[in-house]
Amino acid sequence: EFVVEQIRWHMERDPQTRVAVLYRTNAQSRLFEEACRRAGLPFRIVGGFSFYKRTEIRDVLAYVRLALNPWDDESLRRILNVPPRGIGKKTLEALEHLAHTAQLPLWDALQLALIERRLPERTLESARAFVQLIERLRASVQQGTIAETFRLAIHETGYAYALRERTHWATDPREAESRLQNLEELLSAAVEADERGETVREFVDRTALVSDADDYDPNAPITLMTMHSAKGLEFPIVFIVGLEEGLFPHARSSDDPEELEEERRLFYVAITRAERQLYLTYARTRRRQGEPTSTTPSRFLRELPPDLLEDLSATTKRSADTGPTYHSIAQIEPFFRERDRTISLGRSRAAAQDVPRERREEASVPVRPRFPIGARVRHPRYGVGQVISREETDAFVTLTVAFPGAGKRKFVEGIAPLELVS
């Protein structure tokens, strides 16, 4: 809501302004799509579909729609063999033919085929298991919560398993991970609907209305996209959201220095999309598998020069059981410094035991900076410039570079795409 409030504030002052909301994973778009709709703010999504139009979301919704109405032929066709369960195209054609000749809905034709054993034995077993699955979903619709029904539709169907194990139609690991994240976000949406007191039917109907209303508007002033999709684009105002450990940097990078460095470069790409104003945000709590969990601010926050930041966070405190609240970089810094100090001390002590004294003494000799004052450097956008100052802290080095055609620009050493010019 904070992001949308700030966007509304900017648009009231300049209706022509363009704003981008950048996130690490596609699944994060759902909350911002819904917040923009509630606020009546037009938006577009670059590099993908809106949340409720994504394949895995539509598949799971089709399961629940079929549980609500077994005579929904469109939903039945969509998920009869998704994930693959041995009920292929020929079987569907046979069922379609039976439904047509007997003038029955497809669901009733499936039941008739089971009773009269009109399918091959192996297919009969798969079809019978499918019917039993839908009956369990129907019972959940009548007696369970929205979240319980969607958990069944995600897990009991084998959908999540097929993605995790990358069987059949989900072989790309990154795509499978993204689709699983979307399903996790769908479960969070179901929990929120339970909290609002909605029924399963109301929730499903609302998602259908949202999907139908999502006509692409290329001129919408608000752009939602992943950081990867933002490469090469610039906007007057940019919001980077989800700056939390495990989300950005991504959890898989925590034990891989190369992956972590790639995440850091992606962060640099994201922050340099802003032409005029940049907002950096993180959620105090985030739902995981539908359950709220506290978060830890991203380590990338401490790598930014504090004097360039303005704190806009609320002054309200967290409850005692959720840990500390960080309202500015100055407050976040001790947290990270203490953690990094503990980690580095452990590594240093272990390393020092194996390093001869002469080499340890050599290590204390000052190292010439990569970009000293006076060095000529090249930037892919601003061209060749000269380093005119270096500001060093425990966490980062900020370079000020003067470019003939672009003036003075500040960069974080090791993150900015600078190269020395001989």
DSSP string, 42-63: -EEESSS--GGGSHHHHHHHHH
More confident residue, 219 or 398: 219
Count of CA atoms in the C-beta half-sphere (13 A) of 243: 26
Q: Is residue 287 within a helix (H) or strand (E), and if so which, with residue range?
A: strand 285-288
Looking at 3.30.565.10, 1.10.486.10, 1.10.760.10, 3.20.20.140, the CATH number of the domain 53-209 comes to: 1.10.486.10
How much is the average pLDDT of 26-36?
94
CA distance 259 to 263: 6
Domain ranges within the chain, ordered by starting residue: 2-48+214-312+322-338, 53-209, 376-420
* Structure confidence at residue 413 (pLDDT): 73
* Structure confidence at residue 412 (pLDDT): 67
Taking the whole predicted model, whether its pTM rises above 0.85 is answered as: no
Looking at 1.10.3470, 2.30.140, 2.60.40, 3.30.110, the CATH number of the domain 376-420 comes to: 2.30.140
CATH code at 2-48+214-312+322-338? 3.40.50.300
CA distance 49 to 43: 12
Report residue 393's pLDDT band, with 50, 70 and 90 as the boundaries: low
Residues 236, 276 contacting (CB under 8 angstroms): yes
SS3 of residue 306 by DSSP = helix
Largest CA-CA distance found in the chain, in angstroms, rounded: 91
CA–CA distances in Å: residue 302 to residues 188, 241, 281, 309, 311: 30, 16, 13, 11, 14
Report residue 76's pLDDT band, with 50, 70 and 90 as the boundaries: very high
List the structure tokens of 402: 């003067």
Q: Is residue 391 within a helix (H) or strand (E), and if so which, with residue range?
A: strand 383-392
List the structure tokens of 343: 């980690």
SS3 of residue 362 by DSSP = helix
Whether 166 has a pLDDT exceeding 50, the answer reads yes
Count of CA atoms in the C-beta half-sphere (13 A) of 230: 27
Residues 82, 126 contacting (CB under 8 angstroms): no
SS3 of residue 420 by DSSP = strand
CA distance 12 to 41: 11
pLDDT in tens, 147-161: 999 999 999 999 999
Query: Nearest Cα to 63, choosing from 52, 74, 49, 51?
Result: 74
As a whole number, the mean pLDDT across the chain is 83
List the structure tokens of 102: 């007997």
